[in-house]
Amino acid sequence: MDRRHPESDSFALRKEIETLTVKQRFGIHRFSGSDRDICFLTSEVVLKTIENVIKEVLLSLSRGEAPQLRMHNRLQWANNRFHDSTIPQKAEDCSFITIKSNSSASVTRFALILKMLSVIYKLVQSNTYATKRDIFYCNKGLFGTQRTVDKIIDDICCMLLIPRLNLHVLATSKGLIAGDLCYTEVDGTRVNCASNSMAVLVPSSVQGIKYISSSAQYLLIVEKDATFQRLLDDNFLGESAHCIIITGKGFPDLNTRLMVRKLWEFLQIPVFALVDADPYGIEIMCIYKYGSVSMSFEGHRLTVPSIMWLGLLPSDLERLIIPKAALIPLTKTDYNKLASMQKRPYIMSQPLWQREIDIIRNSKMKAEIQSLTALAPDYLTRVYLPNKLHFGGWI
């Protein structure tokens, strides 16, 4: 039976998973507590989905045909639709890719996906978890690099239409969080993000945290670790006690994105982004707000569409009269990144963002948040952020 046909077992099961309502799909296992219920697919559903993929591979071999794997093309923005700057939705006419076992261009990818499916199957069956790093080191000779493992796992999530946590694969967190926030981790540990002199590492199992407690009035996403640490050193939290700050240390890992999403859903507070006034700062903010193209299939549970761009706005550079010596000329790579971003569907729906991007391109200059120190060493924490938060000025 051709697995691309609707009557194919695996195709039908994945289609059913895709079209189920959230309550139907995730209403089986729950972690209860003062937090909202956290729900997961049952292990039986996950195992059955994997079994049907393998079944189709075996059926193809029994017919003397070369097995194939099929999934949404997760590397094209055209496969996503953005309506009124909301959460990305998969386009009805989205394109697919086929990974063939008889093609020199894809046979290695095909084999690695099957190997990873066997690893995941054992994890789910035994109800154990492993980090992506663990999986890589256990099969280092096979996978070659950690990046290969990451890409194959994303392929499988996209192919099965199942979130990574349900596959019992975890990622080591790199993000940090601090401020007016307490929560209980899966193992029962109570974490107080305001009690330590240093920030707290974002938990590796964000979905399982419960008993969230906070009186924060807003959540501030900080692009870089250096700026995050500067806020701590300048006692920004002490003077603005009712807030939470979080950083993914550059491009955010999955756990940091999940944490931002979870806090936004649970606390129902505004979320602001503080990033560099350059193409990559904007890119990082877009990952939190709209998702990344490589994980667009999970955008509905990773993104926060209400994120507001607090700073550093390109228009702020002229308004604040930042010295030109503190600015950085754009590179060819920067120009290419700006051109690529302006073609994305979500940027097209954001005229104010387009205006800021135009300012960068027309001025031929970019700036890091640290450029504010040219005005005063503590200008960011004593003047810029308090004024922005009090009087507005975000987009």
pLDDT digits (tens, 9 = 90+) for 258-283: 999 999 999 999 999 999 999 999 99
pLDDT-based confidence at residue 3 (cuts at 50, 70, 90): very low
Residues facing 244 on adjacent strands: 179, 219
pLDDT-based confidence at residue 178 (cuts at 50, 70, 90): very high
pLDDT, tens digit, 9 for 90 and up, residues 8-33:
444 444 444 444 433 333 333 333 33
Which one of 137, 183, 280, 288 is the catalytic residue?
A: 137
Pairwise pLDDT comparison (284 vs 343), residue with the higher score: 284
| Peptide linkage before 312 cis (omega within 30 of 0) | yes
Range 191-194, long-range pairs (CB < 8 A, 24+ positions): 193/244, 194/237, 194/241
- Give the DSSP H/E element, type plus range, for residue 9: helix 9-19
Is residue 137 part of the annotated active site? The answer reads: yes
pLDDT, tens digit, 9 for 90 and up, residues 131-154:
888 899 888 888 999 999 989 998
Q: What's the confidence (pLDDT) of residue 31?
A: 34
Q: Which runs of E-coded beta strand occur in the chain? A: 29-31, 38-40, 68-72, 80-81, 89-90, 96-100, 130-131, 169-170, 176-179, 182-184, 190-192, 200-201, 210-213, 218-222, 243-247, 271-274, 308-311, 328-329, 365-366
Please give the mean pLDDT across all residues of the chain: 83
pLDDT, tens digit, 9 for 90 and up, residues 42-86:
888 999 999 999 999 999 999 999 999 988 776 665 555 555 445
CB atoms within 10 A of CB 6: 7
Q: What's the confidence (pLDDT) of residue 87?
A: 52
- What value does the mean pLDDT take over residues 178-205? 87
Q: What's the confidence (pLDDT) of residue 336?
A: 92
- What value does the mean pLDDT take over residues 221-226? 95
- What value does the mean pLDDT take over residues 351-373? 93
